[in-house]
A and B are shown apart, each in its own frame.
Chain A
């Protein structure tokens, strides 16, 4: 029993060490490089290492060279099995407002390794809070599901209604 305890303790310490000692800022730069292949760029940001992730402030998100949004704060954190991204005070550029007519909102994404192809997304603005589920399907399709779209009329033209609620599918 003592031996099992020691092994579990060691595993826990190693896992925590992997997260805590990780060069998180450099891993973020690596992620930026991967995003750049898809012409998505985060620029002008200030990156600070945290204990379990990175804090990024004043980030400008651009797609294909066009600035789409300014994000006051991005909090990326991971415990290996569970990871989350929180975006606070996202201000969309005029170009993006044609798609999402929100002036300012918060977004949080969470992922766990037990459901590797699924992301939970929470969008909140003013007094509205919506929970979405993003599922990466086979054949390069992504499906976004939301139970109801009350209070978000701008979502209606984008989504289709089925028996489980509202959904949106897009190939990536």
Chain B
């Protein structure tokens, strides 16, 4: 007991405790002044999708109403409504949703897939056509030709339809202005992601710290990407209306590819913004 309370030992213990207290104090000051107090979290965009309505956009060449060759001429129904009595105002498409805005007379109705107006049931839609069924017959509704007004001109984006070859290819065929892509081809890329980077090279384009798109550095000949119409030098800006402003967005689109039926790539080619439309079957 005497040894424990020897003044020399006691002084040394005080000295050690003082040193520890000093270290603790220094750390406290450093933590308060220089060290962050919160962790970093990945900013997730969640499932929020920007509205992607196409309102009379860039459809200057379309006939007022065009019916597919296969479909029969619009017929009067028991209520007297024909497909001609409907006007297509807008189409919103995302990977899992199709919404169409249709005008009948003075009334406007927003339809999702399976809903009907005047007996016409919405079954599908592409970039600028909505497909309906009524009494087992198919009808196609196109955007009406846009009257050029000074105010509407401002709304019209420089969206140009991409010229496509009519030569059918095994994985990608063209039908009615829309390329139909075999799901097998995309699933092949899902199963072997390495093949993606053999077939296409992309690099980010940044404006400051923000990613504004992805430039296609090369596309391998005869690859799936070439069949999709993607060319070297294209800048991919958006997928299904969602801007590609991060790698997260790009990978999200990649992961969802198995679940989508329609795909629209917004690209910039030779300084012109254009859209590539696909139906995946």
Point out residues on A near B: beta carbons under 8 Å: 6, 9-10, 13-14, 17-18, 21-23, 26-30, 32-33, 36, 41-45, 47, 60, 62-67, 94-95, 97-98
Quote the shortest CB–CB distance from A166 to chain B (angstroms): 20
Per the 8 Å Cβ criterion, residues 191-219 of B in contact with A are 193-194
Q: Would you call B41 and A17 a contact (CB within 8 A)?
A: no
Provide the main secondary structure of the chain A interface.
helix
Nearest first, the 7 A-B pairs at minimum CB distance are A65-B248, A26-B35, A17-B23, A98-B193, A23-B31, A43-B42, A64-B247
With most chain B CB atoms within 10 A of its CB, the pick from A33, A62, A66, A94 is A66
Complex Cα gap A60–B40 (Å): 11
Q: Would you call B37 and A66 a contact (CB within 8 A)?
A: no
Complex Cα gap A67–B38 (Å): 20
Interface size class of B (residues with CB under 8 A): 20 to 34
Closest to B19 in A: A14
Point out residues on B near A: beta carbons under 8 Å: 12, 15-16, 19-20, 23-24, 27-28, 30-31, 35-43, 193-194, 246-251, 254-255
Q: Would you call A66 and B31 a contact (CB within 8 A)?
A: no
Q: With A41-B40, A65-B246 known to touch, is A95 a contact of B16 (CB < 8 Å)?
A: no
Residues from chain B with Cβ under 8 Å of A42 in the complex: 39-40
Residues from chain B with Cβ under 8 Å of A33 in the complex: 36, 40
Q: With A41-B42, A62-B42 known to touch, is A22 a contact of B16 (CB < 8 Å)?
A: no
Q: Would you call A66 and B247 a contact (CB within 8 A)?
A: yes
Residues from chain A with Cβ under 8 Å of B255 in the complex: 94
Residues from chain A with Cβ under 8 Å of B23 in the complex: 14, 17-18, 21
Q: List 29 A-B contacts (CB under 8 A).
A: A9-B16, A21-B23, A21-B24, A21-B27, A22-B27, A23-B27, A23-B30, A23-B31, A23-B35, A26-B35, A28-B39, A29-B35, A32-B39, A32-B40, A33-B36, A42-B39, A43-B42, A45-B39, A47-B39, A60-B42, A64-B246, A64-B248, A65-B42, A65-B247, A65-B248, A66-B247, A66-B248, A67-B42, A95-B193
